[in-house]
Chains A and B, each alone.
Chain A
Amino acid sequence: MSDTPLLETRALTLRAAGRLLVDGLAWRVHAGERWCVIGRNGAGKSLVLRALAGLNVPERTGDVLWQGRPQGDWPAGAAATLRALMPQQPQDRFALTVERVLALSEVATSGSSPSELLSALDIAALAGRRVDQLSGGERQRVALAQCAMQGAGLMLLDEPVSFQDPAHQQLVGRWLTQSAGDRAWIASAHDPSWIARVATHVLALSGDGGWQAGPVDAILSAPVLERTYGCAWRSVEGAWLPA
């Protein structure tokens, strides 16, 4: 049981509009691991996360297994306790409050109470506000809280800090570092310095089908970053800067 990965992909191949983005991804994610997915814009980061979550993606072959069983074999209700997805852009059409949205997102007991979660992510003051009237960064932290409220063993996070100011990037990073435990998360992100602080592993997508997965120290290197982003990188006292 403990050896069964939370998530496994076998020969997962994804295309979009005929373009090969991920070719034969063979990958395992275990409890306690904190993964970041890197890649340039349009390299397929969001697509990978959607496929891992079990949502429809246009062209896909290969298998995704949750706790050793193909994702298609899990009924929707059980799947909700296994994985949660934070989308890049929540689609708010109705004037729901933050409190209400969080209450609706609860599936399994997440271990942390809503009030703990709200203060940990600095959104306690927003509890009574309407989600469609929040700023981009505030809405993003609420989306993160929604994802955590689901209480799933694996959190899939599509760019959890893209709208965060520097202080909140640190806050979210610290919260993410503490929140894995017997769970795991996979987040798409861009800033190698931030990734170096919060992640244990990295999946790098080169955008032409190529990919590389491994511990953060092995992947966050000048050659891999250069191949991923198409520009040179240097490390200055633990921070990565584009040269």
Chain B
Amino acid sequence: MPARDPAVLRIALLALATALVAALALGLGAAGWDWQLVVTLRAPRVAAAAGVGSLLALAGLALQVLLRNPLADPYVLGHSTGASVGALAALLLGAQLWIGAASGALVAGLLLLWLARPALAAADDASPKLILLGTMLAAIFGAVATLMLALVPDERLRGAIFWMVGDLSGADASLWNLVAAAVFVAWLWARGRSVDRLMLGADAAWLLGEPVRRLRLELLVFASLAVGLAVSTAGSVGFVGLVVAQGWRLAGVLRTRELAVLAMLSGAALVMGADLLARIAVAPLELPVGAVMALIGAPCFIWFLARSVK
């Protein structure tokens, strides 16, 4: 019975593809195959890429439902740059990096929800306004991060490329990111039906008996934690949530439960693949993974936007 379920087949195939990408990312590189190198250098970086990709994909999925906008993405809407500012502040204050980053993402998210409140409450489509507001928030947080880096030269702060575009060189293995992604998926699985109903609209979900306020708060907190963890590992890598979650939606996957599992796997595969490209495209030089992701993601955003008639 389960074997005939297309969802199970999709997940199994995708898990296989993700494992293949991981193997390629471990095996390929400027220095060729060297067991020592694979274990000490590539494996931590591949694990970091997988964790960051899963978290960002899940954050995108959560934000899309929260804001009822299929084009929502933590990078496009300023959550990632908010997390960068939070992380920089934490570094300067000597606090935990990921806590600062998660707080920054949460503040950015609350700010966006508050600014977009009239648009979200109105009956007409809030998408253009929401995207523009998010883009401007991203610009503001980006400027603040740049100013912090310029005004407080500090060895402990990483460079502007890391905070603005995202970079995985020298990233820690951070297996916690993978654990956090698994917890996020488990939560989305447990709340699957409620999150599905939230896609019908906040009023509609409330009329069906869903605890809408709590649900939306949980979505925001989970997304902010995920973005915070991802940004403190790799800086603000963009478009993962957009490409992965909306990509699967356009492919016809609409149930939150299946979408969460697929998003985690393909988010991991996407960032591992992008980082592989970043390492080998112009070897021995290394590109920042965020630039590669933007070159993949931004055209996708334009394509999604162009084909959405409404």
Contact = CB atoms under 8 A, between A and B. Distances in A.
Contacts of B172: none
Contacts of A89: 123
A77 to B, nearest CB: 4
Given A76-B209, A105-B208, A94 B249 contact: yes
A100 interface: yes
A37 B250 CA distance: 40
A101 B200 CA distance: 8
A127 interface: no
Nearest to A84: B207
B249 A91 contact: no
A96 interface: yes
Contacts of A96: 199-200, 254
Given A93-B70, A95-B249, A97-B254, A104 B207 contact: no
A76 B213 CA distance: 11
A104 B200 contact: yes
Contact of B201 (A53, A79, A91, A150): A91
Given A91-B123, A93-B69, A104 B206 contact: no
A55 B207 contact: yes
B254 A76 contact: no
A107 B209 CA distance: 8
A163 B206 CA distance: 26
A80 B208 contact: yes
Contacts of B209: 76-81, 107
B203 A94 contact: no
B216 interface: no
Given A76-B210, A104-B196, A107-B209, A95 B203 contact: no
B208 A107 contact: yes
Please report whether the interface of chain B is mostly helix, strand, loop or mixed according to DSSP. loop
A173 interface: no
A87 interface: yes
A89 B254 CA distance: 22
B310 interface: yes
B207 A53 contact: yes
A95 B193 contact: no
Given A101-B200, A105-B208, A94 B123 contact: no
Interface string B190-207: 000100110111011011
Contacts of B207: 53, 55, 80, 83-85, 150
A138 interface: no
A132 interface: yes
Contacts of A78: 209
Q: Is the interface of A mostly helix, strand, loop or mixed?
A: mixed
A93 B199 contact: yes
A233 to B, nearest CB: 31
Interface in A145-200: 150
Contacts of B206: 55, 76
A94 B201 contact: no
A96 B254 CA distance: 7
A76 B211 contact: yes
A47 B250 CA distance: 36
Interface string B143-167: 0000000000000000000000000
B125 interface: yes
A79 B212 CA distance: 14
A87 B204 contact: yes
Nearest to A131: B200
B132 to A, nearest CB: 17
A150 B69 contact: no
Contacts of A90: 200-201, 204
Given A76-B209, A76-B210, A95 B254 contact: yes
Given A100-B254, A104-B193, A94 B199 contact: yes
Interface string A61-85: 0000000000000001111110111
Interface of A: 53, 55, 76-81, 83-85, 87, 89-91, 93-97, 100-101, 104-105, 107, 132, 150
Closest 8 CB pairs of A and B: A80-B209, A77-B209, A93-B68, A94-B199, A76-B209, A91-B201, A104-B197, A80-B208
Given A76-B210, A94-B254, A105-B200, 19 more contacts: A53-B207, A55-B206, A76-B209, A87-B204, A89-B123, A90-B200, A90-B201, A91-B204, A93-B70, A93-B199, A93-B201, A94-B199, A96-B199, A97-B254, A100-B255, A104-B193, A104-B208, A105-B208, A107-B209
6 contacts: A55-B207, A91-B123, A100-B255, A104-B196, A104-B197, A107-B209
